[in-house]
Amino acid sequence: MEKRGVEVLKDKRLSKSTAFTLDEKENLGLRGLLPYTISSQEIQKIRVIENIRRKESNIEKYIFLSALQDRNERLFYRTVIDYIPELLPIIYTPTVGEVCQQFSHIYRIDKGFYITPEDKGDIRNLLDNWPEKDVRVIVVTDGSRILGLGDLGCNGMGIPIGKLSLYTAGGGISPEYCLPVMLDMGTDNEKLLEDFMYLGYPHKRLQGKEYDEIVEEFVMSVQEKFPKALIQFEDFVTPNAYKILEKYQNRVLCFNDDIQGTAAVALSGIYTSSGITGEAFRDQKVMFLGAGSAATGIADLLLKAFINEGCTEQEALGRLWFVDIHGLLVKDSKGVMAHNEKYAQPVPSLNFIDAIKEIKPTILIGASGAKGAFTKEVIELMAMQNVRPVIFALSNPTSKAECTAEEAYHWSDGRAVFASGSPFMPVTLGDKTFNPGQGNNVYIFPGVGLGAMAVEAKSLPDTVFLVAALELARQIHQSDLESGTLYPKMTNLRTISFEIAVAVANHLYEIGMARKEQPKNIRTYIKNLMYDPTY
């Protein structure tokens, strides 16, 4: 039975609020339920952005946007798409970090899907409770390592919700295809366990075999219930992130955004930096501060990229160096994790500063979550050894960045080629203004997801992320490079995602990883798949 009256206004996918025409008001039983004036979606959008700008804090802006999404989904996405540079920091990093920290205290509307250890053995039946029958993209976290903020337990649900909003706004994947999931395995965060308002499973975090069994049951239940769904693993602690990726990458359609998405964005920035520094990609020497999943994921993709450029594996490994809290990662280092072993170098151990002096990296990548770790001494040393030092401060949110854009430019006398994980404002130094690039994974995952969905991919080999990185680098314009940025304008995000989707889809057909028969015109086919929120 067709919805009428208030039911239409309360359905977020049907509601157009004050944009319903006279005929629609008559036919849908809306007369008397709305003001007299009919507003176009364009006018509604202006009203929304004016209201957002009146809010004094970013978290209040987030709450306002979240409420809009719950009552008028199409207006929400139309506004986000048209104001993406302004609203991306609100619906995702850095504001989403604060949202996750306060999630249990600002909880309003039920969103997402929650699985706890008490659901073991019944996860497949639980999935039947989700109202949509054709899910194509799932973002799942266990809340154990949210951005650089650590274990936030169930509060980490803000991450899947935010990422899926970007799949729709940035990649054109219809919101009905999206499912945010929290594997609520408990938390070791004592403050949360002591908080009477905490909404999560109020026990210490599940570990070991029991944890693995729940992940396995979830992944296999998805294969049965939503066989075409891409699973994106997000913000798991490093050991589990690698264990899960290695276990499922070749079994099901999945990827880990912290490992593979971050890697593709960073690799693209490094490709692009060569256009500023004038140094060939294969001649770069990269040093990482931090040895977690993000840093190692970048190194793994760089290793493949160096080999593609003609380096032997040994030569490529000689261009990738890690420093963690114990110093330079070397063969004699204690407690080296399995995924880092190949990067342990056969040299004596050194502290961070001495490692920079000795190794002389051309590129410094921070993925440590250590605020201010790129000190004035570090930046000046990099600038002393390189005409155009490349500095990536990738830790999120902004409060965790290894240095600010202003620090990188000032301490290098304007010679640094800088990118960060969270946004920074332009910096003016003398008569030159620098526009720091944001190495945000949103440049990669929406396009990869759209391409995978378009061809009904079987799995996503690492080569997919090489292809995505190269395509992203191709989207940069000379004018962008001249302002010092390494990434294309965020206003072009949907076009960028579309081009990445086409490149990924073509690659998946080439390597035999597509289930769907290849269409005659892949570009037209993918363009027609993209969700348009206009009404």
What is the CB-side half-sphere exposure of residue 113 using CA atoms within 13 A?
A: 22
Domain with CATH 3.40.50.10380 in the chain: 91-252
Q: What gap in Å lies between CA 391 and CA 405, rounded to an integer?
A: 9
Question: Identity (one letter) of the amino acid at 163?
Answer: K
Question: Identity (one letter) of the amino acid at 250?
Answer: N
DSSP state of 337: -
**Active-site annotation holds for 92:** yes
- For tokens 């040994």, the residue is 314
Helix (H, G, I), strand (E, B) or coil at 397: coil
Query: 2: buried, middle or exposed (CB in 10 Å: 19+, 13-18, 0-12)?
Result: exposed
**Strand ranges for 207-257 from DSSP E:** 230-233, 254-256
- For tokens 């190495």, the residue is 439
pLDDT for position 29: 97
Residue 143 Cα distances to 319, 326, 504, angstroms: 33, 26, 29
**Token output for 219:** 């992944």
Residue ranges in the chain whose pLDDT is less than 50 = none
Contacts for 288 with CB less than 8 Å, ≥ 6 apart: 295, 298, 299, 320, 321, 322, 323, 365, 366, 367
CATH ID of 91-252, from 2.130.10.10, 3.40.50.10380, 1.10.3720.10, 3.40.50.300? 3.40.50.10380
Residue of 45, 163, 304, 400 with catalytic role? 163
> What CATH number was assigned to the domain covering residues 259-535?
3.40.50.720
CA torsion sign for 30, 36, 42, 46 is negative
Residue 239 Cα distances to 139, 145, 151, 160, 375, angstroms: 19, 11, 14, 20, 29
Q: What gap in Å lies between CA 86 and CA 104, rounded to an integer?
A: 26
Q: What gap in Å lies between CA 370 and CA 356, rounded to an integer?
A: 18
Measured CA angle at 265 (ends 432, 373), to 5 deg: 65
Residue 154 CB: number of other CB atoms within 10 A?
27
Q: What fold, for 6-86?
A: Hemocyanin, N-terminal domain (1.20.1370)
Q: CA nearest 354: which of 309, 392, 323?
A: 323
Q: What gap in Å lies between CA 510 and CA 297, rounded to an integer?
A: 24
Query: 217: buried, middle or exposed (CB in 10 Å: 19+, 13-18, 0-12)?
Result: middle
Question: Identity (one letter) of the amino acid at 466?
Answer: L
Strand order in the sheet with 417-420: 327-328, 320-324, 286-289, 363-366, 390-393, 417-420, 437-438
Residue of 92, 211, 271, 409 with catalytic role? 92
pLDDT for position 481: 86
- What residues form DSSP beta bridges with 114? 182
Contacts for 192 with CB less than 8 Å, ≥ 6 apart: 104, 152, 153, 155, 198, 200
The string of pLDDT tens digits covering residues 227-249 is: 999 999 999 999 999 999 999 99
Domain with CATH 3.40.50.720 in the chain: 259-535
Helix (H, G, I), strand (E, B) or coil at 233: strand
Residue 67 Cα distances to 52, 75, 446, angstroms: 12, 11, 23
- For tokens 């990869």, the residue is 448
Domain with CATH 1.20.1370.30 in the chain: 6-86
**Token output for 383:** 């600038």
Residue 497 Cα distances to 133, 169, 494, 526, angstroms: 25, 10, 5, 11
Q: Across the chain, how many H-helices and E-strands are there?
A: 24, 14
pLDDT for position 100: 96
Q: What gap in Å lies between CA 122 and CA 127, rounded to an integer?
A: 9
